Amino acid sequence: MSTNAFSNKDIKRNWHQVDASDQVVGRLASGVATILMGKNKAQYVPYLDNGDFVVVTNAAKITISGKKAEQKNYYRHSGYPGGFKSETFQDLLKRRPEEVIRHAVKGMLPKTKLGRSMIKKLHVFAGEQHTFAKQLGKTVKSSDVLKGDSETSSE
């Protein structure tokens, strides 16, 4: 008896749409990261990127618990001396709400070439409008996607 080998040619990718309105950042990000990695599929293997595409809408309406809105900081550095920048959650949410979700999801993916290819399948939009209507086919509720129900995805 031989082992079932799963390869790149066997991968079938679906598209999921997640509505981020009134969702908590961490819970949403962990569900989206699971879909991007392909852990919600029966054919999951850790050495292949067999995850699906995810379109997140209404990123500007995301919530966060406690006092994190004022206390949580996002850091970046330009690479030049004195190029360190710091920004609170509130400020980043006003300026670039897509970046809040992208940052949270990226932290939950592998820190390898595989993780960099997975994050490319994430598309985040601040409002309701997006450019992937043809790929999505039908809209999937965020609660269905985040529970790991792979039967509701569109093909």
Confidence band (pLDDT; 50, 70, 90) for 5? confident
pLDDT for residue 152: 44
Q: Tokens 């997140």 sit at which residue? A: 56
> Could you report the per-residue pLDDT of 51-105, keeping only the tens digit for each?
999 999 999 999 999 999 999 999 999 999 999 999 999 999 999 999 999 999 9
Residue 44 lies in a domain: yes
pTM of the model: 0.85
CB-based burial label for 81 (10 Å; 0-12, 13-18, 19+): exposed
Average pLDDT over residues 34-39: 95
pLDDT for residue 103: 97
How far is residue 68's CA from residue 88's CA, in Å, rounded to a whole number? Answer: 9
Residue 21 lies in a domain: yes
Contacts of 80 (CB under 8 A, 6+ apart): none
Domain count, the chain: 1
Q: Which amino acid is at 100?
A: V
Confidence band (pLDDT; 50, 70, 90) for 143? low
How far is residue 121's CA from residue 33's CA, in Å, rounded to a whole number? Answer: 10
Residue 60 lies in a domain: yes
Beta strand ranges found along 4-145 (DSSP E): 15-19, 53-57, 73-77, 84-88, 122-124
Residue 88 lies in a domain: no
CATH of the domain at 47: 3.90.1180.10
HSE of 102, CA atoms in CB hemisphere, 13 A:
16
